[in-house]
Structure 1
Amino acid sequence: MTGPIISPSILSADFAALGEEVRAVSEAGADWIHLDVMDGHFVPNITFGPAVVKALRPHTAKHFDVHLMIAPADAYLAAFAEAGADTISVHVEAGPHIHRSLQTIRSLGKRAGIALNPGTPASAIEPLLDMVDLVLVMTVNPGFGGQSFIPSTLETIARIATLTKGRGIDIEVDGGITTETVGLAARAGANAFVAGNAVFKGGPAGYAERIAAIRQGAIQHGAMGSGAGGAVSC
């Protein structure tokens, strides 16, 4: 895929109608579907597990972008792979054996992602770059949707864009992405954008328009491609 990847986060969807919501954003132009898994331990919130991912899988053929905000993660990687995840991202802060986690994800035939909290420096992932297909930069503190973008994370994105240049690694940003902030993240080097409230707020009638506006914001105001280049087909 060329151009920005828009990955609506179902954390902001109607949980009473998740299947319908996934179908709606898929038809509205989403490239990926972002699934935030939280355990109430690594982050102060609880969402869902592999059973929900499996239940949603028949509702779309879109790429399932599964973000594990859980610790430990290793015991659950196979379950999420079997449930239908395409990319599985784990946090560098979530455990002492991140190499093992990434190796396991790839051994399961899935794309491996490494995620960083806003306060974690880009240098934390330098030893891991040969083992990942995606770097996910949290641009808010993980745990809840609807937070404001943290400007200092732009430096992290830019540093990761430099580190990953020419490697075919996607750089994804998650948190506070709107039509205004998406351009800043794109200019810093991101090529994949998780959007929650900016897509889902207001209901399905506006999904296509809002996804298109976020995409256009990334194209118009971003430099697109300063470090990214591993985007997969949808």
Structure 2
Amino acid sequence: MYFDPPLLPAVLVQRYKRFLFDAVLEDGSAITGSCPNTGSMRGLTAPGSRIWLSQHDSPTRKYRHMLEMVEVGDTTIGINTGLPNRLAEEAIRAGQVSDLHLYAKVERERKYGRNSRIDLLLSDPQRGLAYVEVKNVHFSRIQGLAEFPDSPTKRGAKHLEELGDMVEMGHRGIMVYLIQRDDCDRLSICAEFDPLYASAFRYARQRGVEVFAVQCRVSPQQIVPAGLIAMDEPALADL
């Protein structure tokens, strides 16, 4: 996906209340904008960081600017959690995720499970149904290693359980971790920050849930799915 209009560079002053940030634009203007990521954004909120912003002129929006990317060292990292479903669908249609491109139909946000909505529902007369859950990943503390989650997520564990339920009903349950950074060649489940999620992940795998990690090439001009990277399984010693 391309950014049109182009993203604006700025310097982060602070991110606060989960939904807001203050920044200084290149012309020296101080602005407040919206942050489309309610997670911890661990390691991505240091004051003085170079950031990239989209602009929105809708009269219904309170804040014109929205945070899209943060630079950490030489790496540009996408933080917008509204993009991974779209990027995962692009990866699937491009044939980057196993055989999922062979399904005839892709739908978004279909109700299923226990009062949940599946991110992508794939259907095909010959192949049946494939339930695809997508998780955004941007956390890394070891060179080359992306990690998920970066904070506890009961909702994430629930989604793993529901995918397992779909497998037991005769469908495919698939977890796609969408990594909005291009400096990692493998992904690991972070049992240190959420042992319950790691346990739910391991149980889901035992039930037949399929797992894929998709890396993206990220720049202020575009975010493009770049294919699969290795997925580490959590060790029993970590749980």
Assess same fold via TM > 0.5: no
Higher helix proportion (structure 1 or 2) = 1
- Structure showing the higher strand proportion among its residues: 2
